[in-house]
Amino acid sequence: MAIYGRHGVLSGQSLDLRVVFTDDTDCLVNPDITPVVYIYDESIDEDTIETELAAAIFTSALAGPLTPTQIATGFYELEYIVPTGSAEGDWHDVWVSQVDGVASEQVFEFVVEVGAVLTTQILYNNELIIIELDSSIANLLGDKTLGIDTQVSFSTLYSPLYASPDLVRLEVGPWISFIPDDTMALMIHWSSKEADFIAKPSRANQEDFEFARTKFVIYDAALKALNLPGASALSGLDYGGSGGSKALGDLSIKKNPVSTIGTTSSGIDLETLKELRRMRDEWWRVVNAGGEIVPGQGFKPTSAVKGSMLEGRRVTGRLWEDPGEYNYLQPSTNSKVLRRGAWRARFGFSNKRRR
């Protein structure tokens, strides 16, 4: 089977030319006689091909008649080798046969190419690159080989990425030491995309928002890491099967995971996971608020006074005058008085000082 088809074939290579014979009801049908194929190169135009087809004289054909192979009912295939040194362009293959006593003739087209196309390969963000090294790769002397097939992988820059694996490890500690940095970076990337889905920063609180977003990503990625399948086996922790705590009245018994690494016996219990989830939820609220609140704070209702922002608005309510501007009668009383300027204007006093 050739690797090239009608969309393009290189000069000197082979291609598969396939056709299907159907009747007027679009059902597959075998022709009355085995079809034959004629090949025309790019120098022959379609008008000439139609003229020769009508006269049943194919003198301008480069090759033919060629006999295709029947693959199934009504399905035929011809493997044709384009001569070396052929010119590029639109070539044609003419199929001639007979179905139910009626001539069946059709002109098809395929493209011949010469040379190659040079392109540059670009690595984009969020891509995983896998390199496979064959076991037969040897040194310059040829006396040493890899011996086994080796696979090496790395990832390009994840974007968005609002934290780093080191920040998550500093927060969680050795419980995620079994996770490679590439895997941790992928989890941080997922958490960062979730943070983008929650809210976008505003100009007024951009710094606060970015800090809250980083904290959320840290705790969210940490929870993803701790919930990986097989985490206990990889980290050396034994979670002791199902269950973990029993309570009877004031008596509570809790079975913590036991570490089999060295002589340590501490482990991640339910309280630790609850605390991580609590911190994650707290910072989620801050991110959702656009950085307008701090952890533990909620949205409180506010009040407004009609016209409070108008310039020259008269102050209302029971007010105290400034003793530096107004001489109260002694002893002073809790009384409602006019401002100094308004009092002088009402009683006809001038604001000018006497010399």
* 325, pLDDT greater than 70: no
pLDDT in tens, 285-320: 999 999 888 888 877 666 666 777 777 776 666 566
Q: Residue range 232-249: average pLDDT?
A: 48
Lowest mean pLDDT among 161-175, 207-221, 264-278: 264-278
Higher pLDDT, 311 or 141: 141
Per-residue confidence (pLDDT) for residue 266, from 0 to 100 = 37
Could you tell me which residues are beta bridge partners of residue 107?
A: 94
236 band by pLDDT with thresholds 50, 70 and 90: very low
With H, G, I as helix, E, B as strand and everything else as coil, classify residue 247: strand
CA quadruple 343, 348, 351, 355: dihedral, nearest 10:
-130
Q: Residue range 79-108: average pLDDT?
A: 90
Average pLDDT, rounded, for the chain? 80
Only one residue has tokens 């006809």, namely 348
Q: What is the DSSP letter of 179?
A: S
125 band by pLDDT with thresholds 50, 70 and 90: very high
Q: Residue range 114-140: average pLDDT?
A: 85
Instruction: Provide the residue ranges of all domains of the chain, joining segments of one domain with +.
Output: 9-113, 165-288
Q: Residue range 21-31: average pLDDT?
A: 87
Lowest mean pLDDT among 63-77, 142-156, 298-312: 298-312
Q: Could you tell me if 70 and 76 are in contact, meaning their C-beta atoms sit under 8 angstroms apart?
A: yes
Only one residue has tokens 């060295």, namely 262
C-alpha distances (whole Å) from 199 to each of 162, 208, 210, 213 are: 14, 13, 11, 9
- What is the side-by-side order of every strand in the sheet holding 36-40? 9-10, 102-113, 89-99, 36-40, 63-66
Higher pLDDT, 265 or 127: 127
* 268, pLDDT greater than 70: no
C-alpha distances (whole Å) from 88 to each of 38, 124, 255 are: 18, 34, 77
Per-residue confidence (pLDDT) for residue 192, from 0 to 100 = 96
Q: Could you tell me if 294 and 286 are in contact, meaning their C-beta atoms sit under 8 angstroms apart?
A: yes
Per-residue confidence (pLDDT) for residue 195, from 0 to 100 = 95
Q: Which CATH superfamily groups domain 9-113?
A: Macroglobulin (MG2) domain (2.60.40.1930)
Hey, what amino acid is at 77?
Answer: E
Per-residue confidence (pLDDT) for residue 270, from 0 to 100 = 78
Hey, what amino acid is at 194?
Answer: E
Instruction: List alpha helices for 145-205, DSSP H.
Output: 165-172, 181-198
Lowest mean pLDDT among 20-34, 82-96, 105-119, 301-315: 301-315
With H, G, I as helix, E, B as strand and everything else as coil, classify residue 136: coil
Higher pLDDT, 318 or 95: 95
Per-residue confidence (pLDDT) for residue 234, from 0 to 100 = 43
Tell whether the torsion through CA atoms of 34, 35, 39 and 44 is positive or negative.
positive
Q: Residue range 214-234: average pLDDT?
A: 80
Of 25, 154, 14, 155, nearest to 77 (Cα)?
14
Question: Is residue 76 exposed (0-12), middle (13-18) or buried (19+ Cβ within 10 Å)?
Answer: buried
Whole-angstrom distance, CA of residue 99 vs CA of residue 31 = 5
Percent residues over pLDDT 90 in the chain: 35
Strands 36-40 and 69-72: unpaired
Per-residue confidence (pLDDT) for residue 303, from 0 to 100 = 66
Q: Could you tell me if 22 and 76 are in contact, meaning their C-beta atoms sit under 8 angstroms apart?
A: no
Lowest mean pLDDT among 60-74, 103-117, 259-273: 259-273
Query: E-assigned strands of the chain?
Result: 9-10, 14-20, 36-40, 63-66, 69-72, 75-81, 89-99, 102-113, 128-133, 150-155, 237-238, 245-248, 251-254, 258-259
Per-residue confidence (pLDDT) for residue 64, from 0 to 100 = 82
Count of CA atoms in the C-beta half-sphere (13 A) of 323? 6
Lowest mean pLDDT among 25-34, 192-201, 219-228, 304-313: 304-313
With H, G, I as helix, E, B as strand and everything else as coil, classify residue 226: helix
Q: Could you tell me if 188 and 221 are in contact, meaning their C-beta atoms sit under 8 angstroms apart?
A: yes
Hey, what amino acid is at 53?
Answer: L
